[in-house]
């Protein structure tokens, strides 16, 4: 049985739904419906199609059907954090809204309606970045589907325009604060971990994945396995190299810091012992790595490579953190 589905706007608030169930003129159904938007008409079309037994909600090529194959693929090919974040966005937001539709039936008005709906739902406000991430998650699913053999769906017919979003300037700790936290770590495990996050600019997941075979003490570098299965090389400072040399003697052949569930607890305890009350999180150490390199004259491209940033614009955010220092230079010079 072939089917040729179509929704056509008659006038504002009125749509005609056509479903061809065979190749004869008699084999076509037309239903005129009153609804607010094309998205609502498409939803009615889907319900009508299901009632006719033509196509189940998860029929091949719908967003829902692709997700049934995409989610297991994500589990096997993404980090735990990335998988959990994308899985949550898909189940909570993307699939309930777009799931019943074919990717090439998604239109700009549908995307705009999704943005409007999400903005109205938010009680916190300022969720533009989160909405953009949800739509990127949808795009990733569709792109994956089009890349399968045979393809699970057609490509989207347009590019999604993200909501305006300005990245927040990251908080940076002073060298004195960070050194005090490192020095007040309770043991070599956490002392070497804190130092690595700061002096190698590691994300917590990157630190968790680091193995002894990734460390070359003689040549003073570490091989970091970053986002998107991308590997980068980061030089080791003398202090970090010495701490890692000690840590490698006691960690065996498995991960250097495989079990860091107590990471935040240990970090906060080190802060208390160091009598530091400013808001410093473990991830601030990574931000400080970039900012302190920039203050010492390191070029942005080198910092980008050491941080594992895909886009130089992400690295450029750290230029704002050095503004106060640059102002001091200006005052000293003039």
94: which DSSP letter? Answer: I
3-state helix, strand, coil split of the chain in percent (to 5) is: 55, 10, 35
**For a pLDDT cut of 70, what percent of the chain falls above it?**
86
Q: What's the whole-number average pLDDT of the chain?
A: 84
Q: Is the pLDDT of residue 57 over 50?
A: no
Please compute the mean of the pLDDT values over residues 153-165 and round it to a whole number: 81
Task: With cut-offs at 50, 70 and 90, classify the pLDDT of residue 82.
Answer: confident
Task: With cut-offs at 50, 70 and 90, classify the pLDDT of residue 125.
Answer: low
Q: Is the pLDDT of residue 298 over 80?
A: yes
Q: Is the pLDDT of residue 4 over 60?
A: no
Long-range pairs of 315-324 with CB within 8 A, sequence gap ≥ 24: 315/290, 317/167, 317/169, 317/170, 318/170, 318/287, 318/290, 318/291, 318/294, 319/294, 320/169, 321/169, 321/170, 321/172, 321/287, 321/291, 321/294, 322/291, 322/294, 322/295
Q: Is the pLDDT of residue 170 over 80?
A: no
pLDDT, tens only, 192-239: 999 999 999 998 889 988 999 999 999 999 999 887 778 999 999 999
Q: What integer pLDDT is reported at residue 180 of this predicted model?
A: 96
Q: Is the pLDDT of residue 96 over 90?
A: yes
d(CA 137, CA 84): 12
Do the Cβ atoms of 295 and 201 come closer than 8 Å?
Answer: no
* Positions marked active-site: 203, 227, 283, 286, 309, 318
Please compute the mean of the pLDDT values over residues 95-116 and round it to a whole number: 89
Q: Is the pLDDT of residue 329 over 70?
A: no
Task: With cut-offs at 50, 70 and 90, classify the pLDDT of residue 107.
Answer: confident
Q: What integer pLDDT is reported at residue 53 of this predicted model?
A: 66
Q: What integer pLDDT is reported at residue 320 of this predicted model?
A: 66
Q: Is the pLDDT of residue 26 over 90?
A: no
d(CA 99, CA 68): 11
Q: What integer pLDDT is reported at residue 54 of this predicted model?
A: 58
**This model's pTM is above 0.75:** no
Mind giving me the DSSP string for 6-46?
EEEEEETTEEEEEEE-SSSGGGEEEEEEE-SSHHHHHHHHH
Least confident segment among 1-10, 11-20, 141-150: 1-10
Q: Which strands sit side by side in the sheet containing 28-34, from one edge to the other?
A: 4-11, 14-20, 28-34
Q: What integer pLDDT is reported at residue 318 of this predicted model?
A: 74
pLDDT, tens only, 39-49: 677 777 777 77
Q: Is the pLDDT of residue 155 over 60?
A: yes
What is residue 112's three-state secondary structure?
helix
Task: With cut-offs at 50, 70 and 90, classify the pLDDT of residue 299.
Answer: confident
pLDDT, tens only, 234-289: 999 999 999 999 999 988 778 898 767 778 899 999 999 999 998 898 889 999 99
Q: What integer pLDDT is reported at residue 323 of this predicted model?
A: 62
233: which DSSP letter? Answer: E
Please compute the mean of the pLDDT values over residues 126-154 and round it to a whole number: 90
Tokens of 170: 């990251």
Residues found in the chain: 334
Q: What integer pLDDT is reported at residue 253 of this predicted model?
A: 75
């Amino acid at each position: 049985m072939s089917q040729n589905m179509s929704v056509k706007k008659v006038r504002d608030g009125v749509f005609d739904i056509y479903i061809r169930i065979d190749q004869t003129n008699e084999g076509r159904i037309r239903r005129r419906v009153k609804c607010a938007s094309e998205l609502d008409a498409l939803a009615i079309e889907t319900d009508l199609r299901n009632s006719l037994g033509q196509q189940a909600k998860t029929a091949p090529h719908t967003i829902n059907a692709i997700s049934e194959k995409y989610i297991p693929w994500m589990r096997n090919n993404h980090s735990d954090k990335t998988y959990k974040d994308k899985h949550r966005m898909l189940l909570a937001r993307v699939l309930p809204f777009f799931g019943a539709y074919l990717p090439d039936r998604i239109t700009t008005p549908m995307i705009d309606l999704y943005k409007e709906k999400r903005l109205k739902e938010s009680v916190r406000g300022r969720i533009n970045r989160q909405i953009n991430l949800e739509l990127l998650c949808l795009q990733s699913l569709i792109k994956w589907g089009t890349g399968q053999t045979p393809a699970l769906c057609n490509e989207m017919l347009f590019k999604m325009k993200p909501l305006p979003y300005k990245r927040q300037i990251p908080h940076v700790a002073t060298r004195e604060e960070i050194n005090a936290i490192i020095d007040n770590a309770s043991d070599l495990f956490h002392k070497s971990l804190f130092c690595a996050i700061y002096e190698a600019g590691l994300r917590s997941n990157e630190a968790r994945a680091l193995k002894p075979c990734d460390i070359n003490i003689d040549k003073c570098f570490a091989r970091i396995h970053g986002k998107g299965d991308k590997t980068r090389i980061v030089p080791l400072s003398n202090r970090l190299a010495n701490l890692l040399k000690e840590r490698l003697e006691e960690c065996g052949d498995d991960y250097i810091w495989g079990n860091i569930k107590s990471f935040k607890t240990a970090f906060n305890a080190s802060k208390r012992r160091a009598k530091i009350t400013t808001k410093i999180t473990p991830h601030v150490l990574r931000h400080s790595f970039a900012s302190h390199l920039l203050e010492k004259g390191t070029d942005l491209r080198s910092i980008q490579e050491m941080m594992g940033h895909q886009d130089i614009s992400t690295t450029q955010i750290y230029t704002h953190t050095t503004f106060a220092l640059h102002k001091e230079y200006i005052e000293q010079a003039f």
